[in-house]
Amino acid sequence: MKLVRTLFVLFSFLTAASAYALEITPYTPAALAQAQQSGKSYALHFHADWCPVCRAQSQVLEALKADPKLNVTVFVVNYDKEKSLRKQFSVYTQSTIIAFKGRHETGRLAGESQADKIRAVLVSAL
């Protein structure tokens, strides 16, 4: 019985922790609109497959998924295809990450792949 209770507590902790971890998902207009309307914390990662800095940023973001305090959704935006979105948010270079809380921009960085700086811009949205 004690083992079952311990496993239940552990499962509950892991489930709760994963509910608050960083989520990385492809950008869609509907998902962005929902995040804006709900006031959630999120970021737009303007990513190009051919960009080495973008790939490095993606690796950092994957590693940050383990941080249960980062309750942020990162929408991966195709830099080459989403030209109107780039214009809307004044993005002039791939490897740009913009953090938001609802519709309010809280932080931005471009061309940066250091984990502490990427984490800081994500934390700004919390």
Phi-psi region at 95: left, alpha or beta (left = phi > 0; alpha = psi -120 to 50): left
Q: Position of tokens 């270079």?
A: 93
* Domains of the chain, each with CATH number or no CATH: 20-123 (3.40.30.10)
pTM for the whole structure? 0.82
Q: What is the CA radius of gyration of the chain?
A: 16
Check whether 3 has a pLDDT greater than 50: no
Averaged pLDDT score across all residues of the chain: 87
Strands 23-26, 73-78: parallel, antiparallel or unpaired by DSSP?
parallel
Q: What is the pLDDT of residues 49-108, one digit of tens each?
A: 999 999 999 999 999 999 999 999 999 999 999 999 999 999 999 999 999 999 999 999
